[in-house]
Chain A
Amino acid sequence: MSLEIHDISKAFGGFRALDGVRLTIETGSLFGIIGPNGAGKSTLFSVVSGFARADEGQIRLDGQSLDSLSPPARARAGMVRTFQVPREFRHLTVRENLMAAAPKQTGESLLGLFFRPGRVREEEGAIAERVNQTIRFLRLSAVADQPSGKLSGGQKKLLELGRALMVEPRLILLDEPFAGVNPVLIGEIMERIIELNMRGIGFVIIEHDLEALTRLVPQLAVMDRGKVLAQGAPQAVLDDPLVREAYLGGVS
């Protein structure tokens, strides 16, 4: 069971953002991707989640080809992404954000809404219960009924994680979950990720914060200029001379 990224290339004009990226990530694992600015990490997420089309290469999730699927279809296939800059539904409350993320709602079809009101009410009750659990799990109770646009950066990151959880995915792609988050909340987010991973949800995490990431993941890959330089356990990867050259600027 794995996410297979097979020889993915993507160019913007003459700039090769991704250059034959090849990665195999166990679906239930915690996997990190690091690399300097412009290494192609976010582009890789966009291609994997279907928001950008790859020029070449294939992507499979647990054996199923994702190449012809739209972004929503990829999410429904069990892989949900978050965004580097949080994209909360800012005029909706935290609770409403999470409720909107619940899959397969009868009340999201006009026919269901007007002709099966009983069923809609029943589902809303069940979703509200799941949302309450998620809010408690993420320690967002104090802000549950506030417009999400008013949350702090770290709370927005937690909300995005919560929304992803509502979809019940097997794999979550987190784009810089610790960027702009205060150290206390970083610890909180890490704990939640570890708890979720123990429940069987896999994570692929892009991160700038090298130190935070090496504490969290047993496996990581280093990217630079659209290529994967090395892959493996954090210490081994960081000791790789190619990586030291690219990421740490050759400082020894």
Chain B
Amino acid sequence: MEAYFIAIGIIALIYVILSLGLTLQYGLTGLINFGHVGFFAIGAYTSALLALKGVPLVLSFAAAAALAGLAAWPIGLVSLRLRDDYFAIVTLGFSEVVRIVITSERWLTNGVQGVPGIPRLYDSLGGSVAQLAVLVTVLAVTLVGVWIIRRIAGSPFGRLIEAIRDNEEAVQALGKDPARFKIQVLVVGAALAGIAGAFYAHYITYIVPDQFIPLVTFYVWMAIIMGGVGRVSGAIVGTAILMLFLEGSRFLRDIVPGVSEVDMASVRIGAVGLLLVLFIMYRPQGLMGDYTKR
């Protein structure tokens, strides 16, 4: 049971790191990124493949963050020309392109068969101690991420990206170039997603393209909407609610008789969807309140 909670904790924290990136991009800057999972995938594959080639994990993690961040650069350039909904479509397309490239480039990624045997973090410690060490490490990285996002949000940079979210042309009229800020925001958010991806790969130890479908992006969106858009506490609380439902519904099978594992998977997604609908109807500002209610 303890091992189970540690496992849930690790996955939840990986999702928190993902939602921190989206909080910066959407909550503060207003960029509708529907392709978050693409950067997550780039991070996962980068670190996994490098680690299997014998690169030390510290460097493979750094490379995951760097490459995911770098991939956001062209997306940032596109965002200079596109507004809200078009940008959303481009990013969604981007993440699907990433997934299809991973699926097709078998020489690099082993295609649909995926990459097995990815080295674990702290493997030499063995068993539950290693698990606990991973949890502590992910927690530490999450806290650094929280510190960075809070620092940005409370700064002149944060003030300006919120101004961009509220009215981009007015920012231009005041002599500031929104593009520069949007690119930086995308790169930082993507780098966070890349690190989350690396943790995921080294924790699960086996990655396949099907783990990187748009549903992952939308789970992160659900988390920040339920928690409260534009708030760091919202990202954390929202992820907690999401995990509670995704994992909690597992236990439902033990209570409700005659439900198979397959049925349960569908019920789980349905339950999360219903929760999201209820939130939008009765608490659109999320549990912690969003940026409009300051």
A residues sitting closer than 8 Å to B (CB atoms) are 49, 51, 70-73, 75-76, 80-83, 87-92, 96-97, 99-101, 103, 105-110, 113-114, 120, 123-124, 147, 163-164, 166-167
Contact = CB atoms under 8 A, between A and B. Distances in A.
Contacts of A108: 156-157, 160, 176, 181
B175 interface: yes
Contacts of A89: 162-163, 166-167, 170
B176 A110 contact: no
16 contacts: A72-B172, A72-B174, A80-B173, A80-B174, A83-B170, A87-B167, A91-B165, A100-B160, A101-B174, A108-B160, A108-B176, A113-B151, A124-B156, A147-B294, A163-B174, A167-B174
A113 B156 CA distance: 8
Contacts of B175: 72-73, 75-76, 80, 103, 167
Given A51-B169, A120-B155, A110 B184 contact: yes
Contact of B157 (A72, A90, A107, A147): A107
Contacts, number: 97
Interface residues of chain B: helix, strand, loop or mixed (majority): helix
Nearest to B174: A101
Given A80-B173, A83-B169, A108-B160, 7 more contacts: A72-B174, A73-B175, A91-B165, A107-B156, A107-B157, A110-B188, A167-B174
Nearest to A109: B157
B253 interface: no
Contacts of B173: 49, 51, 71-72, 75, 80-83, 87
B84 interface: no
Interface in B194-242: none
B157 A100 contact: no
Categorize the interface residue count of chain B: 20 to 34
Interface in B246-280: none
B155 A100 contact: no
Max count, chain A CB within 10 A of own CB: residue among B156, B160, B291: B156
Interface of B: 151-152, 155-157, 159-160, 162-163, 165-167, 169-177, 181, 184, 188, 291-292, 294
A92 B162 contact: yes
Contact of A90 (B160, B166, B169, B184): B166
Contacts of B162: 89, 91-92
A101 B159 CA distance: 10
Nearest to A124: B156
A82 B174 CA distance: 9
A91 B156 contact: no
A114 B165 CA distance: 23
A72 B177 contact: yes
A113 B184 CA distance: 13
B167 A72 contact: no
Nearest to A50: B172
A13 to B, nearest CB: 22
Contacts of A97: 163
Residue with the greatest number of chain A CB neighbours at <10 A, chosen from B157, B171, B184, B294: B157
A75 B174 contact: yes
B157 A92 contact: no
B152 A92 contact: no
Nearest to B184: A110
Contacts of B291: 91
A90 B166 CA distance: 6
A49 B156 CA distance: 25
